[in-house]
Amino acid sequence: MEYQFSNRVLSLKPSAIREIFKYASDPSVISLSAGNPAPEAFPIKEVSEISARILSERPIDALQYSITEGYAPLREHLSSYMKKTHGVGRDFDNILITSGAQQVMDLATKSLCNEGDVVICEAPSFIGSLNTFRSYNCRLRGIPMESDGMDMTELEKALQEEANVRFIYTIPNFQNPSGITMSWEKRRQLYALAKKYGVLILEDNPYGDLRFYGEHIEAVKSLDEDGIVIYAGTFSKVISPGMRVGYAIAPQEILQKMIVCKQGEDVHTNIWSQIVCHELMTKYDFDAQLKRLREVYLKKSAIATGALDKYLAPMVTYQPIEGGLFLWCTLPDGVDMIDFCKQAVERKVCVVPGNAFLTNENDPCQSFRINFSTPTDIQLLKGIQILGELARELIRN
């Protein structure tokens, strides 16, 4: 039978990262491509204790249907926690618990965008979100990144030139893939431009709690006096990605449409996972968990950057980071980045080619992304050493 697919999905391609995972699943391959938390980062003991207690004392709460908006105690605690610790949330805002932060991108796009509408994105940006926007036939306009965030001159130019811009998508903290953190001044400029041109901001902050250098910078949403910012948070990088618990903090009017859309997708987020997240935050030392994570990733980032300095410098440069899980490495002109990544796989090392993160994958790109959280320390050192040997061979040729 010849299958007829919808216009929305005809042009979609598999995620380059997911395709690379096929190679990474080979135990002989060193995967520097995934974005998974470190195995030692999971609070296994605490999750086991909470789960046993839930199933013993209140099993029906975890096994029965629940409401779409999310587990009420978690929503209430998150609302007060985010206001107190991050200045996020106003009287006009509410909170929706989602199946990971990725669902925030989907529900926001489904609620706000028609085919042909424009989404302005950082260039490069997270491929999962880019593919979500593409799946609704949005047109993407990429804004080049500078060392302190997106180029604000180019952003205003895009806002002036593009009709039907629905929102600006940004990952302001330790951006995936570049690792760049947007400065406070640029966050203020971003908010001012969005307000000036009547455009929403979709702020994606999966890595914000993983700062191990420098001073905390408040969220763009903390500036939101006008109801123009949708904030996406998640427990994936601080508790567990497999539990699939994220959340959106946004004006109630927007959330109401997202709730209706979610009802048609999955009815509600896994309720057991929501209860576990709530109890971890309220009955255990959640700050100690975050502190432990920062220590883990500080150590692993130091191993990775030390190996890059030893085996790849000065041929390959990388963007300094203050937190997160990723390093954005750039090859010298004259070295074919795609060929470099392919040959790395042949040598049993996986990295992600940088063009996968562009709004137009055919644009020239000399960069690739390394993840340092998932591999062991020994794998990090060995994998980066192999990349260095490959880079020297290609440069000599």
- pLDDT computed for residue 234 by the predictor: 98
Reported as type and span, the H/E element at residue 253 is helix 252-265
At 6 the pLDDT is: 81
Question: Average pLDDT in the 149-175 region?
Answer: 97
- High-pLDDT (> 90) share of the chain, %: 89
What pLDDT score was predicted for residue 381?
Answer: 97
Top-ranked range on mean pLDDT: pick from 16-25, 111-120, 338-347: 111-120
**What is the CATH number assigned to the segment(s) 58-283?**
3.40.640.10
pLDDT band with cut points at 50, 70 and 90 for residue 219 = very high
Report how far residue 178's alpha carbon sits from residue 115's, in angstroms, rounded to the nearest whole number.
Answer: 29
Categorize the per-residue pLDDT at 243 as very low, low, confident or very high, splitting at 50, 70 and 90.
very high
pLDDT band of 351, cuts 50, 70, 90: very high
Condensed to tens digits (0 to 9), the pLDDT of residues 99-138 reads: 999 999 999 999 999 999 999 999 999 999 999 999 999 9
* Residues with Cβ within 8 Å of residue 204, at least 6 apart in sequence: 101, 104, 105, 126, 129, 169, 170, 171, 232
| Residue 393, burial from CB neighbour count under 10 angstroms (0-12, 13-18, 19+) | exposed
Which tens digit of pLDDT belongs to each residue from 268-281?
999 999 999 999 99
Q: Do domains 7-43+288-396 and 58-283 have the same CATH topology?
A: no
Compute the average pLDDT of residues 251-264: 97
The H-or-E segment that residue 166 falls in is: strand 165-170
- Give pTM, 2 decimals: 0.94
- Secondary structure letter of residue 356 according to DSSP: G
Task: Give the pLDDT band of residue 306 (cuts 50, 70, 90).
Answer: very high
pLDDT tens digit sequence for 47-65? 999 999 999 999 999 999 9
pLDDT at residue 362 in the model: 84
- Tell me, what's the pLDDT at 5? 80
CA of residue 318 relative to chain centroid, distance? 19
- DSSP-derived 3-state class of residue 334: coil
Could you tell me which residues are beta bridge partners of residue 149? 146
Average pLDDT over residues 179-192: 98
User: Is CATH 1.10.645.10 the right assignment for the domain spanning 7-43+288-396?
Assistant: no
- Please report, for residues 166, 368, 397, the alpha-carbon distance to residue 200 in angstroms, rounded to integers and kept in the order given: 6, 30, 49
The pLDDT assigned to 325 comes to 97
Instruction: Please state the rounded mean pLDDT for residues 189-196.
Output: 98
Domain positions in the chain:
7-43+288-396, 58-283
